[in-house]
C-alpha cells in the first residue's frame, strides 16, 4: 500500500505533539494553570514539543486516502530531549510511511522554546527521507502556541486551560499542492500560513479545528489513563473545503507518551 505521505505525516505530528507537555511537564506551582492533556491539533504543528526524556509513539489512519479508494496509515516513534524552559526542547521522530511493508522511513526534528506562562515558540522540519521513495519533500515551519489563562477559559477545579491556539507559517506541505490537486485544477500553492484552535468541552475532551495551508479539518481528542499511562485518541473529518483533495475523509489516531 503506497501511502499519501504529504497528508499522513503531518497528521501524526498534530496527534503526537501534546505528549511533550503532558508526559514531560515540569512540576506545577501552586495557584498556577497548565495546559490540559488532550490533543490540540489535527494536521498542523504546535510549538509545545516532547522534551525531558519523553518517549512517544502512535499510529494514524485516513479513510480513504486522498484521490484513492484505499485506506492509508502511518506510525511514529520518537523521543524528546532537553528542557524548553531552561534552554531548548528537542523532539526527534522516526516515521514508517509504509506500514504494509515497513520499507520506507522518514524523520523529523522539532525545536521548542518556552516563553513563560505556557506560551511557546517552535520550529522544525518534517519528512526528511531516510530511504528511497516518498512522494513529498521536506517541509520547514515556525509556529507560536498559547494556552489562554483568562478566568473564563480555565478549569479551576484541576487548574488547566480550556482554550488553546497556534499560528505559524511554512514551506512544503503548507505551501505546495499535490500533483493531483494541480491536475484537477485546484491551483499550485496553498496559503503558507497555518493555524489551529482547541477548546475543552464538558471538562472531558477537546474539540479541534485546524487549517494546514491546504484545507480545513475538524475533530475531537481525548486523553484517557490506563494504570496512569496517558493514551490519546483522536477522530476527525479532514478536507472540509474544495480548496484541495477530492472529498471529506475520516481520520483516526492513537498515541501514548511516557517519561524515562
- Note the pLDDT of residue 15: 53
What is the rounded distance in angstroms from the CA atom of residue 165 to the CA atom of residue 195? 7
- Note the pLDDT of residue 30: 44
pLDDT band at 3 (very low <50, low <70, confident <90, very high): very low
49: enclosing H helix or E strand: none
Average pLDDT over residues 77-104: 90
Tell me which residue range forms the domain holding 73. Answer: 5-259
What is the rounded distance in angstroms from the CA atom of residue 76 to the CA atom of residue 14? 12
- Note the pLDDT of residue 136: 66
Tens digit of pLDDT for each residue in 212-226? 999 999 999 999 999
pLDDT band at 27 (very low <50, low <70, confident <90, very high): very low
Average pLDDT over residues 194-207: 94
- Note the pLDDT of residue 132: 77
pLDDT of residue 207 exceeding 90, the answer is yes
DSSP string covering 183-199 = HTTS-SB--SEEEEEEE
pLDDT band at 110 (very low <50, low <70, confident <90, very high): very high
CB atoms within 10 A of CB 164: 26
Q: What average pLDDT does the structure give for the chain?
A: 87
Average pLDDT over residues 124-131: 90
8: enclosing H helix or E strand: helix 5-16
19: enclosing H helix or E strand: helix 19-24
pLDDT band at 12 (very low <50, low <70, confident <90, very high): low
pLDDT band at 14 (very low <50, low <70, confident <90, very high): low
DSSP string covering 180-244 = HHHHTTS-SB--SEEEEEEEEETTTEEEEEEE-SS-EEEEEEEEEEETTEEEEEEEEEE--SSSS
Q: List for the chain the helix, strand, coil content (%; round to 5).
A: 10, 50, 40
- Note the pLDDT of residue 53: 93
Tens digit of pLDDT for each residue in 168-191? 999 999 999 999 999 999 999 999
**104, 130 contact by CB (below 8 A):** no
**260, 230 contact by CB (below 8 A):** no
What is the rounded distance in angstroms from the CA atom of residue 149 to the CA atom of residue 254? 28
Q: Looking only at Cα atoms, what is the longest distance across the chain?
A: 57
Tens digit of pLDDT for each residue in 59-74? 988 999 899 998 888 8
Indicate which CATH number applies to the domain containing 235.
2.40.160.40
- Note the pLDDT of residue 25: 46
- Note the pLDDT of residue 20: 43
pLDDT of residue 29 exceeding 70, the answer is no
Name the domain count of the chain. Answer: 1
Amino acid at each position: 500500500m503506497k501511502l499519501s505521505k504529504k497528508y499522513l505525516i503531518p497528521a501524526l505530528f498534530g496527534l503526537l505533539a501534546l505528549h511533550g507537555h503532558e508526559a514531560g511537564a515540569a512540576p506545577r506551582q501552586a495557584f498556577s494553570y497548565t495546559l490540559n492533556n488532550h490533543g490540540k491539533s489535527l494536521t498542523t504543528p504546535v510549538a509545545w514539543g516532547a522534551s525531558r526524556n519523553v518517549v512517544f509513539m502512535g499510529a494514524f489512519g485516513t479513510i480513504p486516502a486522498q484521490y484513492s479508494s484505499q485506506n492509508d496509515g502511518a506510525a511514529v516513534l520518537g523521543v524528546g530531549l532537553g528542557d524548553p524552559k531552561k534552554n531548548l526542547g528537542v523532539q526527534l521522530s522516526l516515521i514508517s510511511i509504509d506500514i504494509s511493508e515497513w520499507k520506507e522511513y522518514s524523520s523529523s526534528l522539532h525545536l521548542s522554546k518556552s516563553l513563560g506562562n505556557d506560551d511557546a515558540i517552535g520550529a522544525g522540519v518534517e519528512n526528511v527521507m531516510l530511504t528511497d521513495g516518498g512522494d513529498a519533500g521536506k517541509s520547514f515551519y515556525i509556529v507560536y502556541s498559547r494556552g489562554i489563562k483568562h478566568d473564563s477559559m480555565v478549569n479551576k477545579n484541576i487548574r488547566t486551560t480550556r482554550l488553546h491556539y497556534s499560528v505559524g507559517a511554512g514551506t512544503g506541505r503548507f505551501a505546495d499542492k499535490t500533483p493531483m490537486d494541480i491536475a484537477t485544477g485546484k491551483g499550485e500553492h496553498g496559503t503558507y500560513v497555518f493555524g489551529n484552535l482547541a477548546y475543552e468541552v464538558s471538562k472531558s475532551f477537546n474539540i479541534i479545528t485546524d487549517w494546514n495551508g491546504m484545507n480545513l479539518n475538524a475533530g475531537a481528542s481525548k486523553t484517557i489513563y490506563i494504570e496512569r499511562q496517558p493514551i490519546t485518541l483522536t477522530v476527525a473529518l479532514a478536507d472540509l473545503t474544495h480548496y484541495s483533495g477530492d472529498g471529506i475523509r475520516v481520520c483516526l489516531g492513537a498515541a501514548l507518551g511516557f517519561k524515562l
